[in-house]
Amino acid sequence: MTADALIIVCGYLLGSIPFGYVIPRLVRGADVAASVEANVWRAYGRSLGIPVALLDVAKGFVPALVGVKVGGDWVGVLAGAAAMVGHARPIFLGFSKGGKMVATAGGVVLALAPLAALVCLVVWLVVFAAFRYASLASIVTAAALPFACLAFGSSWPVVGFAALAAVAVLALHRHNIRRLLAGSEPRFAGRLLGGAR
């Protein structure tokens, strides 16, 4: 196996670690229905929500950064994409449904296009603060991602990745979109930086 292929495979395996399941299990002996950092945040507040979110970002950031350093943008894109696939369909949970890839995609973009990632972070925070829907903030941020990459002069592999990642995130949020349109999507009731409930 070549070094590039090994990085991509490791990206998938790292992405498959379901921190949203593992961390509550280790710390509280509890189970969370899905390996999604938002679920952990709702259930336990920032004490577990922040570590899970940061770990989900890291598992996209690390393989993408290593891929860029070793093999250039294409390897970084493929390794980051593999981490996102792992997050969505983790091998360690029998390929069952995982998370919606937003934090992991954010980590990949942070490695590939850091300025675009910072802009998208601001977009997420502004939309969330205004409407209190994590799903809406993720949807708007995903839609903004390829344009932010274009604006900062990212390479075409990175822009292409950003566009495909945006489509994937939107597809995984299709049920949230239906609930938003129907007015039945739950708002985030607590403070973003509030303590555990």
Q: What is the CA radius of gyration of the chain?
A: 16
Residue whose C-alpha is closest to residue 80's, from 108, 111, 53, 118: 108
pTM for the complete prediction? 0.84
Cα three-residue angle 49-124-23, rounded to 5 degrees: 15
- Cα–Cα distance, 84 to 101 (Å, whole number): 6
pLDDT in tens, the chain (197 residues): 799 999 999 999 999 999 988 888 888 776 655 445 567 777 777 888 889 889 999 999 999 999 999 999 999 999 999 999 999 999 988 888 888 888 899 999 999 999 999 999 999 999 999 999 989 999 999 999 999 999 999 999 999 999 999 998 899 899 999 999 999 998 876 555 543 33
85: tokens are 């696939």
SS3 60: helix
